[in-house]
Structure 1
Amino acid sequence: MKTIRWGIIGTGQIARAFASDFCHVKGGELRAVASRNKASADQFSAEFDIELAFFDYFSLINSNEVDVIYIATPHVYHYGLTKACILAGKAVLCEKPFTINYEQSKELYDLALKHEVFVMEAMWTRFNPVIEQVIDWVEEGEIGNLNSIQASFNTLAPTGPNHRLLNLELGGGALLDIGIYPVFLAQLFFGKPDFVQNQAVIGDTDVDLFEQILLGWEAGQLASLDASLISHNPNRAILSGSKGYIEIDSEWFKAKSCRIVTADNKERAVEFDFPGNGYQFEVDEVNRCLEEGVFQSPNHSWQDSLELIATLDEIRQDIGLYYPGESAPDHSHFDEDDLHHHHHEHSHHKH
């Protein structure tokens, strides 16, 4: 089997975390990096021992030296870069959120299907051994009927108004960057919610600084979630059931341990001793899918990604948060078939 050759677009914080974990992957080679800044590309390639450094994204996208490209730019660039990769026949692992809205995501997944190119949203938490363990416990009925999830992702964002997290033009805000994780966790177990309520605080730069989100399902489950760019929090997740609860330890989205506590207060903890932050597991998944010749991961499918962004769209509509180029959308757009006609008609507004 020939080695799968990886390229990275972007040299920011997330790209660095990804590159530093790459040495722990089971296979594949980190072969190229691209930045629009020559000094950044050179420095990044030297630091991580990457053979090729490109000074514009499209040179990497069109290079014969890579098979799959990891996109680690600000959110608003995901759509255009992923589209270019698909058209160039390159497999893609694109940082979350896959795009800034449902319409863009749907268009790209349709395009990937048409061009038969593997594409995955980089929901790295899904492939963490702790999350795999929690899924097993829930499926095995260890906590009985799972009916409630609480999860937080709070962090202190850099304060400069030009930082991408606070910049509306770059798709900033708490929801798309970190709120996506708690919403992902809830939907992993319960699917797309039937009811969405939230409260958000919008800051001086017109992006959401923090929010508390309540999701409900007709089958009788609830999720209470929060995300913040201005607070500290233990960042644990708790899954509550009729026979006990599961607690995912602090920084649950990259945790190395979790515990199950039964109704009689018996506790079992599991610890995983993996190196780095755990970005290697999503790379292993992509490599496995590419070797099998499938175009999407069964563990974080296109549908999973679409349902996730649909919920985030709904929350943003509710708080009136729109990014440049978006118009206040039609609330009926979550109907799959309806959307299919919609996005072709309206696509000219978007570009």
Structure 2
Amino acid sequence: MKNFRWGILGTGKIAHLFARDFSFTKSGELRAVASRNKDTADAFATEFDIELALQDYYSLINSDEVDVIYIAVPHVHHYELTKACILAGKAVLCEKPFAMNEYQAQELYALAQKHKVFVMEAMWTRFNPVIEQVIDWVADEEIGQLNSIQASLCFVAPTDPEHRVNNLKLGGGALLDVGIYPVFLAQLFWGKPDFVQNQAILNETDVDVLNQMLLGWDNGALASLESSIISHSPNRAVLSGSKGYIEIDTEWHKAKSCRLISKDNNERAVAFDFPGMGYQFEVDEVNRCLEEELIQSPNFTWQHSLDLVQTLDEIRQDMGVRYEQDPEIHDENIEEHHHEHHHHKH
């Protein structure tokens, strides 16, 4: 297998977790890192034994030393950096959310198609062995017909108004940070919902800090989802079917175990003893796709990513959370789906 050379843009928390798990990948080499601060880049490179530490994102993007770039900077910079990577002919794994809205995402995927460059949203949960197991159980009808999903992803974030999760200019809010995961899980099985209802609490910086979402599909399926940056929760996921249910253990988006409970209460537990947190699996997928000269992953396609951002846009529009990257809203688009929305100040 070809040994693809990777570069990382950003040196924050997620970049550290990613770099730590990179050592567990089947192939590939972590060759370069870039930060806006040279000292930070140097420290990161030393910690993870990376050859090149660069102060400027664009130096890395245009470097001949890398084949693939992982983008791990705040949401608002994903669009411009992904675009630069595509134009430089570099394969891209961009942290979620892939873009601030559907318009940005559509443009980037069209550009990737035009330039025949591999691009994937870093929905690492999709490649977690537990999620693969759950997909198999559902496909094999081990719980009969899947009727509903309950999933939450909540944590207590710093309250500093300048922190990225509270800062509207940096794409703050619970939905794009953690709410994207429960929405992804529901859409993994049923695709884009046919209706969306939500209740949201906004804080004084006008970002959503707590969301409860009800998604519905014309086939009769329902998903009850929650995300928060102000509260703790079990962060489990339950998939309920006509013959039993599946529990994905806490924290479900990076779980190492799950259980299938049949209607007569027989339990089948499965645990995976993989090292690290599980970021290595998305890297393996990117490397596999590059080896096969694909420009998108068949397991998390551009359409999957677009369907996800469309739902997030719809929920956000409903909540009244708007980013400066959003296009002007025209009235005729608003009634496209049945909505009921309420939002309150926290």
Matches within 5 A, 1:130-145: 130-145=130-145
Distance 1:3 1:279 in 2: 18
Larger % of helix: which?
1
Query: Which residue is equivalent to 2:46?
Result: 46
Query: Which residue is equivalent to 2:231?
Result: 231
1:326 CA displacement? 2.2
Matches within 5 A, 1:55-70: 55-70=55-70
Query: Which residue is equivalent to 1:319?
Result: 319
Distance 2:103 2:327 in 1: 12
Identity %: 72
Q: TM-score scaled by structure 2?
A: 0.95
Residue 204 of structure 1 pairs with residue 217 of structure 2: no
| Deviations 1:44-63 (CA, angstroms, capped at 9, x unpaired) | 00011100001000000000
Query: Which residue is equivalent to 1:213?
Result: 213
1:330 CA displacement? 3.3
Query: Which residue is equivalent to 1:342?
Result: none
Please state whether the residue corresponding to 1:227 is helix, strand or coil.
strand
Residue 71 of structure 1 pairs with residue 67 of structure 2: no
Q: Is the 8 A contact 1:94 1:122 kept in 2?
A: yes
Q: Is the 8 A contact 2:6 2:30 kept in 1?
A: yes
Please state whether the residue corresponding to 1:150 is helix, strand or coil.
strand
Please state whether the residue corresponding to 2:165 is helix, strand or coil.
helix
The letter for the 1-side match of 2:268 is R
Distance 1:223 1:331 in 2: 27
Query: Which residue is equivalent to 1:114?
Result: 114
The letter for the 1-side match of 2:158 is P
Residue 101 of structure 1 pairs with residue 101 of structure 2: yes
1:262 CA displacement? 0.4
Query: Which residue is equivalent to 1:27?
Result: 27
Query: Which residue is equivalent to 2:279?
Result: 279
Matches within 5 A, 1:136-175: 136-175=136-175
Q: Which runs of 4+ in 1 moved over 3 A?
A: 330-334
Query: Which residue is equivalent to 1:289?
Result: 289
Distance 2:43 2:210 in 1: 34
Q: Is the 8 A contact 2:118 2:290 kept in 1?
A: yes
Distance 1:161 1:16 in 2: 24
Matches within 5 A, 1:165-204: 165-204=165-204
5+ long unaligned stretches in structure 2: 335-346
Residue 330 of structure 1 pairs with residue 330 of structure 2: yes
Please state whether the residue corresponding to 2:268 is helix, strand or coil.
strand
Distance 2:162 2:27 in 1: 38
After TM superposition, the structure 1 stretch with the greater mean CA deviation from structure 2, 22-31 or 156-165, is: 156-165
Distance 1:243 1:66 in 2: 49
Distance 1:162 1:200 in 2: 21
1:325 CA displacement? 3.5
Query: Which residue is equivalent to 2:340?
Result: none
Q: Is the 8 A contact 2:200 2:210 kept in 1?
A: yes
1:159 CA displacement? 1.6
| Deviations 1:137-182 (CA, angstroms, capped at 9, x unpaired) | 0000000000100000001111211111111000010000100000
Q: Sort the Cα spacing of 1:2 and 1:262 in 2 relative to 1 into closer, same or farther, 3 A.
A: closer
1:328 CA displacement? 4.1
**Count of residue correspondences:** 334
Distance 2:159 2:248 in 1: 29
| Deviations 1:77-119 (CA, angstroms, capped at 9, x unpaired) | 0000000000000000000000010000000000000000000
Distance 1:268 1:332 in 2: 50
1:332 CA displacement? 5.7
Query: Which residue is equivalent to 1:258?
Result: 258
Distance 1:311 1:333 in 2: 14
1:333 CA displacement? 5.8
The letter for the 2-side match of 1:23 is S
CA RMSD after TM alignment: 1.0
